[in-house]
Every structure is written in C-alpha cells, then in structure tokens.
Amino acid sequence: MHSSADPLQRPQQSIYSNGLRVRLLPLLGSSQAAALVRVHAGSHDAPSTYPGLAHFLEHLLFLGSRNYSAVEGLMPFVQGCGGQLNASTRERHTDFFFQLPAGQLEEGLHRLLDMLAHPLLAPDAQLREREVLQAEYLARAQDAETLCDAALGRAANPDHPFAGFHAGNRGTLPVEDAAFQQALLGYHRRFYHAGQIELLLAGPQHESVLQRLAEEMDAELASRPAVPRQAPPLRFNAGAWFRLQFNNAQPRLQLAFALDQLPEQAVPALDYLCAWLASEAPGGLAQRLRETGLCQSVKLRTPYWYAGQGVAVIELSLTQRGLDARAVVIDAVLDWMRFFSGDERWQPCREEYQRIRQRNLQNAEPLARLRHWIEPQAWGLDSDEAAIQQALVSLTAQMLGSTPLVLTADKSHCEPIETSGFPLRLRTEPPQRTTPADWHWQQPATNPWLKPNTIRHEAAPIPPALRRQGPEDMSGQGALFLRWQLARCQPSTAMWHTVAHALQPAVWAAQQAGVMLRFENFGSAWCLRLEGFAEAIPAILSDIVPVLTVPPAAAFTKGNSLAERDAALSHDEMLIRQLLNQLPRLLAGSAAADAQPADADPASLSRLWQSAQWQGQAIGFAPSLNGALSDATRALPGTPAVRPVARSKHAALKRWHDLSGSSVTVETALLLFCPLPDHTAKCEASWRLLARVTEADFFRRLRSELQLGYAVFSRFCQFGEHAGVLFAVQSPSASAEEILEHVERFLCDSAAKLANQSEDVIERAARQAADQHVASKADFRAQAEQAWQCLQAGHELDRPAEVADAMRMLQRHDLAAALESLRGADAGWVAVANAPPPDLSWS
C-alpha cells in the first residue's frame, strides 16, 4: 500500500482480496479523520419499474443494521461526536461520507460498514421513510435546478436514462408489494459488495492502522466481481429552444450540450473549463457580460456524467436586458469558448488553474481532500497535462460543433405538460437570431493573491482592538475576524447588500487563493472573516478596504434591488436555508429588523462607518506578517474599540418573524431559537450538553416517526453574540402552528425521559462532550472558530476551557434545570417562519 501525506500527491489505489478498492491519506498532526465510500451504482442502475429505488435504499441504510439500531447507528454517532456526515445518490454512483474527531474513526467505520453490508430494511421503517422521500420530492418540485434538469431530460433520446424520472415519490415506491421488495434486495445484493465499492480514508493514524481498518471492511463485504454497466448513446434535440415557467426572481438561461465518447481525461478538462467559465477575473466572460448589463453570473454544471458521456450545462443568471437579448448572450458565450479553446490560452490559463488547485488542496479539511481524490482523474502533481489538453480540444470541439439546446426559465406563462415525474410548465419557442459580434476577448487577468508579494516589515505594533492568539504559524494557515459594532439604530439591509455585492469579485478571488472570505450581517453588527492561507490574508484585506469604504456606484443600485428581493422568499433556494440566512439579523432584537428601511447611498454608508467601532481576532500569523497585518488593519473604516463592546441581553419575550410577505410557497418552514438565559460557563455547558443528548431524538421523532419532512434538525448554535439551541423543520404537510406544537411536545417528552435517565449515562455524556469541546491544537479551523465565537460573545479566550470544566461537573438535575429554563422561555424565544404567529402570546 502506497500513500502520501503530501496534499498534492495522488493517493495510489490498492485492490484488496475481496475486490475493495482502497486509497489511504495519512494526515500527520490532524485532529480530524474522514471516510468516503463510493458504491458504483446510482439512480440509473435501478429498475426502471421503480424510479427512486436507489435513492430510497440510500435513506434506508441509515435506519438500522444487524449490529446497530437506528438509535446507535452512524448518524446519531457522528452527530454525537460533533462531526459531519451525508450521503448522495447520483446517476451512476452513491456516496457515503463523514468527518469526525480522529479517535472516533474506527467506531464510525464499524457503523458505516454494518449499514452497507447488513441493513435491516424493516417494513415499518420503509413505510415511514417513503413519506420522507415524498416530502423531499415535493420540495424538489419547487427547486429551479431540479425542474430545469427535468425539462432538459425531455430533449434527450427516450431510451437514455437521462430522459427518465429517478427521484422517487410515494407513487413509485410500492413498498407493500413483494415484487418491489425483491427488486430492492436484488439491487442491494447486485451492487453493495466489495467489487463494486471504493473506500477512501484520511486521518492522523499510522498508515498501518488505516490499512487494518480498510482490510476489515474488505473482509466483511461480500466478495463478488464488479458489475459491467453500459449506457446507450446520448443525443439531444440540439438547436431547440424551450421555455420553462418558474416564478423565481432571477431569469435563467441554460445552454445544454450532449457529450459522448470523450476520453477519460475529459473529466479534468471539464473542471478546467468550468473554472474559467465561472471566473470573475477582470476581462473574463462573466465580468464582460455583467458590464454590458446582460447577466449577473455564469457557471458550468454537469447534471449527468458517466463513462465519457454526459450533459454539460452553461447556466447564466440573466438581467431583464439579457432576457430580451438571449441570442446575444449565447453568441457571446460561444465566441468566448472559441477564444478560450485556442492553443495560446492553454499555458497561462493552465498555470493559473494549477496554482488554484494547489492552494485549495493545501488548505482542505480531510473530507474535502477525499471528495477531491475520489474522482479518478482529479488534478494532481502527476496529471498528464498533454492528455488533458487533448481532451479539452475534443470537449470544446463537441460543444462548438453542435448547436446547444436552449432553455429559458422565467415567469413567462406556459401550460402544464404531461409528465411521469416532476410537474413542468414547458413549451417550445422559436429561436432568436442575432448578428454575430466581435467581442475582442483578452486573456483574463491573473489573480494577484495566488502569489502574494508580502512586504516583510519589521514587527510593527498591532492596534489593541486586534487580539492575537497563537500558534504563531499553523502550517501556513491563518484566520482574521473583524466585527464592527454599528450605531444603535440598525442600518438598512440595502446598505449591507451594497457592501456585500461590491465584495463578490473579492470573495471569488480569495477562494481561488485558498482564503474563505465572508461578510456577514448580524443586524447591529457587521462581521468580516478571512480564513485560510495566512500569507495572502493581509494583502486581501488591504485590497478590499477601499471597496468596504467606497463601493462603486453600481453596487448601491444592486444593493437596493437585493434588499427588495430579500423582502420576498424565493424559489431559487431551499426555504429553510433562506430563513437561516435571515435569522442572525433578526436576532438583533429591534423591531426595525422586520421593517424594510431606506435605500443605501454613499453618504449614509460614510456616516455608518464613521460611527462604527471595530474589534478583531487574529490567529496563526507568523511574526514576519505583523507589519502587513498592522498596515491593513490601521486602514480599516471605523474606530478601533479601546474596551470590549457591551453585548446585549435577550428580553424574556416570544418574538415571531413572519417572512411570508406576498410569497406563495407549498411548504412551511419554522426556526425556533432559544437563547441562553445567562452568560455563565455553567449555563452554556448545560445547554450545549442538553442540545447534544436530544439532537438525535429530535431528528428521529419529527423526521422518521412523525414524517414532517426531510429537513429537520436541532443543535446548539451561535449567531454573532447570540448563543442558544435551534430547532428547525421544513414540512410539506404541517403548518407552522403544528410544527411548533410538535417541538413543544418533544421538549415535554424529553423532560420525562431525562427524569428517568440514569446518572451514569448523563455523566458519561458530559465527560465525552467535555473532552471534545476544547478545540485540539492540531485543528486550526476549530481553534479559530472558538476564538471568533469568544470575541463575538464578549468572552475571554479561555472560555472553551471554562465550559469544558463546567461540563465535567454536570449532573442530571443540571440538564433538567436547563430544559425547564428553555421550555419556559426564560430568555425569550425567537421564531422565524413563512407564516403568521399562532396566537397573541407572540410579539
């Protein structure tokens, strides 16, 4: 077995005795470990008689296995460790993956292996989970991308699986029928065995330990050879124009290309093309189209790809002008592709692309590395550049050699059509014509932050408002957090949108340079986060300060329109995610948070910055960067805070924010945030533990047993200075009032369960939570996040250790008191929903 700790080195694959394909990534010094299993079978491999069977099986695997009940399985285990997990069923493969504290990797793998090899597939669980898939189907029936792909499928040759419906719903999953059960078991037997599975492991364990874990999985999985799978040729009704009615705020234009018989290196070639199509670099396609007022953004996605054939979709978010001149937009895109595919573009663009991938891999978490390397031809130091260039020639030749299928999604009226899957309002329309233009494309500008030329000042004094925390150099990573406390009166959301929009090109360029840039709105405070490659952060901050203080005039126009759009819920994004995006601002507590304030303008923004006070937290910067960091922070708008800014305290009120407006949505979503009643370490410790021990029960009760919907979770959260427990549900069947009643009933039942819980169970959970609460010195991201949370909440940096110590002392009566305080809304409740409050007890 050969592997490497070098993040740029492709891990070699080994095939074990039963046929399991394995790649190992030892990560020296990491506190986290990750696993990714790819089963080479997906929705297109399921019997056409039962659309959605593959997706259904993916769900069922989490609901109990031979050695682990649903309560003891992978999902509650990873959640209990504070980790992350998910699964995804694609057209020709299904992925299962998780990341958790390194010491828990073996336990997590045992659960993953057991659910893959020995699922229970209990009939009652199938009936319940079918309702979850029905809820997911209804939600996806409101999703723009899903409906666009369904519309594109109607243009494909009907004998190809891409033309079919594969999501599954109540009508396609007859779990009561013996024939369906036979098909379900047959699909599992055919594909869930060692010969059809890949395993990738990453962690700080010695390579021999990772190898032993992989061998155990290989030995436990059934030994059968890989299943040969074919796909018929893929063709499109090329040149056709379709119109899809979708009441989203932003019109979409999609250019779809059917690709076939491409070499295997077409996968990295497609990723390379995708990077440059979406590029926000000056002189690039997106910027030129935005400057001409035709489009807001460009991206390339592949809703289907398998064995050298696939569907590539160039998606453009259009302005009204672009909607009226779609033929001009299409001409620009195709003309740019002809320019980009020229030989003279390859070398400079390829070098830039390599720097981007290199930087991103160097800063990637274990799971992100696995998700990169699971693709066989993903970029690495050993990539065959000549073969990729040749594949790019073949790829662009196919795309430019055929007329794309054109799909426009907007509010134009279309009659519903007969479908066996997602409901569509779709019609054909005559193609638009235009006179080809010469766009005079130029080589896009290089990203200066990929090769920062940091001036090495002598160590300069850092403003006292910026707190420093070690380690001084964490493998080249750094994090800088800045928080501006704004004037008592909340600024308009239009003002924040103006600055956020002006920063968008910087967000994109920073991400390329291995730095995550986020500008967040917490109502009475604005926050800027820069995390990643430390050497680039001072340069990025210096370059964006002028954008923060004096955004271009166009940003004010866009900011005002975005604020208007914020007032109405959109179909472009999942409903519960839209409510989560609004929650931090609404927690500020002012009644003005619900209002739609005045438009943004330069004078108002200038006054806002003049009255703002800022504080900051820097972690991971070597002393050699002090000068650059000092220069960048001294130029910040606002006044450095000489003493900690006072944090607000929640009033014991029940506040309800109805975001429905005039929007009509099929589903209901509710967020219930219960803030901490006081700021003591013991209070935080007890509420954190309470959230941890009830998280899996909440998910199981409301999602699996009550089948309210597929978007259900609860957890301890901190939004800016506000910490507490969050409950979240999106449901296609229950009203906001009914969801709230279910949450309250769950809390009541939790009190009864807690009263009967043994002290040993509580003390063991408290010890485990305490041991995992303080971020490991090897986990830079977790360290930085805890430092940032301390700053926002007004705590000292030793707060996590205080909370961990308090956790170790917790007993059952402490959790009972915390639950009673939460149920009694001692610090108030904040509800956010797309519905009015259920009664007059809410303000």
pLDDT digits (tens, 9 = 90+) for 166-201: 999 999 999 999 999 999 999 999 999 999 999 999
Please answer whether residues 750 and 706 qualify as being in contact, where contact means their C-beta atoms are separated by less than 8 angstroms: no
Position 249 scores a pLDDT of 65
Fold of 654-833: Cytochrome Bc1 Complex; Chain A, domain 1 (3.30.830)
CATH top-level class of 241-436 = alpha beta
According to DSSP, residue 756 is labeled T
| Most confident among 574-578, 620-624, 681-685 (mean pLDDT) | 681-685
**In the chain, where the domains are located:** 14-220, 241-436, 449-640, 654-833
Can you tell me the mean pLDDT for 477-498? Answer: 87
| CA 756 to chain CA centroid, nearest Å | 38
Banded pLDDT at 203 (limits 50, 70, 90): very high
Where b means 16+ CB within 10 Å and e means fewer, 270-307 reads bbbbbbbbbbbbeebbbbbbbebebbbbbebebbbbbe
Position 33 scores a pLDDT of 96
Banded pLDDT at 2 (limits 50, 70, 90): very low
Position 80 scores a pLDDT of 82
Site of tokens 């329109």: 561
Angle made by CA atoms 479, 806, 107, in degrees to the nearest 5: 70
123 burial type by CB count under 10 A (0-12 exposed, 13-18 middle, 19+ buried): exposed
Which region among 32-36, 400-404, 789-793 has the lowest average model confidence (pLDDT)?
A: 789-793
**What pTM value is reported for the model?**
0.90
User: Which CATH superfamily includes the segment(s) 449-640?
Assistant: Metalloenzyme, LuxS/M16 peptidase-like (3.30.830.10)
Q: 3-state SS string over 541-555? A: HHHHHHHHHCCCHHH
Assess whether 58 carries a catalytic annotation.
Answer: yes
Position 592 scores a pLDDT of 41
CA distances from 128 to 135, 177, 394 (A): 11, 16, 48
Q: Is 615 helix (H, G, I), strand (E, B) or coil?
A: strand
Position 737 scores a pLDDT of 96
Can 241-436 and 449-640 be said to share one CATH topology?
A: yes
The answer, yes or no, to whether residue 522 has pLDDT greater than 70, is yes
Which value, in Å, is the radius of gyration of the alpha carbons in the chain?
27
Banded pLDDT at 565 (limits 50, 70, 90): confident
Position 3 scores a pLDDT of 43
Can you tell me the mean pLDDT for 131-144? Answer: 90
Lookup: tokens for 838: 């259920």
The answer, yes or no, to whether residue 456 has pLDDT greater than 60, is no
User: Could you give the residue ranges of the DSSP H alpha helices within 613-672?
Assistant: 626-634
Which residue in 178, 347, 331 sits closest to 255, CA to CA? 331
Which region among 24-28, 156-160, 326-330, 644-648 has the lowest average model confidence (pLDDT)?
A: 644-648
The answer, yes or no, to whether residue 164 has pLDDT greater than 60, is yes
Please answer whether residues 629 and 619 qualify as being in contact, where contact means their C-beta atoms are separated by less than 8 angstroms: no
Position 704 scores a pLDDT of 85
Please answer whether residues 273 and 396 qualify as being in contact, where contact means their C-beta atoms are separated by less than 8 angstroms: yes
The 10s digit of each residue's pLDDT in 580-591 is 999 999 998 643
CA distances from 316 to 381, 406, 486, 748 (A): 32, 11, 36, 49
Rounded distance between C-alpha atoms, residue 662 and residue 592, angstroms: 19
The answer, yes or no, to whether residue 475 has pLDDT greater than 80, is no
Banded pLDDT at 457 (limits 50, 70, 90): low
Instruction: State the DSSP string of 300-365.
Output: EEEEEEETTEEEEEEEEEE-HHHHHTHHHHHHHHHHHHHHHTSHHHHHHHHHHHHHHHHHHHHT--
Lookup: tokens for 467: 């707190």
List all residues 6 or more positions away from 837 whose beta carbon is below 8 Å from its beta carbon. 656, 658, 831
Q: Quote the mean pLDDT of the chain.
A: 91
Rounded distance between C-alpha atoms, residue 779 and residue 201, angstroms: 18
Fold of 14-220: Cytochrome Bc1 Complex; Chain A, domain 1 (3.30.830)
According to DSSP, residue 490 is labeled P
Strands 94-101 and 466-469: unpaired
Cα atoms found within 13 Å of the Cα of residue 388, Cβ hemisphere only: 20
Which residues, in sequence order, are bridge partners of residue 297?
A: 317
Can you tell me the mean pLDDT for 299-324? Answer: 96
The 10s digit of each residue's pLDDT in 231-273 is 999 999 888 999 999 986 689 999 999 999 999 999 999 999 9
Please answer whether residues 832 and 582 qualify as being in contact, where contact means their C-beta atoms are separated by less than 8 angstroms: yes
Q: 3-state SS string over 29-75? A: CCCEEEEEEEECCCHHHCCCCCCCHHHHHHHHCCCCECCCCCCCCHH
Banded pLDDT at 596 (limits 50, 70, 90): very low
Percent helix, strand, coil in the chain, to 5, is: 45, 20, 35
What are phi and psi for residue 285, nearest 5 degrees? -60, -50
The answer, yes or no, to whether residue 682 has pLDDT greater than 90, is yes
Rounded distance between C-alpha atoms, residue 534 and residue 516, angstroms: 11
Can you tell me the mean pLDDT for 677-683? Answer: 95
Banded pLDDT at 642 (limits 50, 70, 90): confident
Which residue in 545, 498, 492 sits closest to 517, CA to CA? 545
| CA 439 to chain CA centroid, nearest Å | 35
Q: 3-state SS string over 683-723? A: HHHHHHHHHHHHHHHHHHHHHHHCCCCCEEEEEEEEECCEE
Q: Which of 58, 131, 280, 785 is catalytic?
A: 58
The 10s digit of each residue's pLDDT in 74-108 is 999 998 888 899 999 999 999 999 999 999 999 99
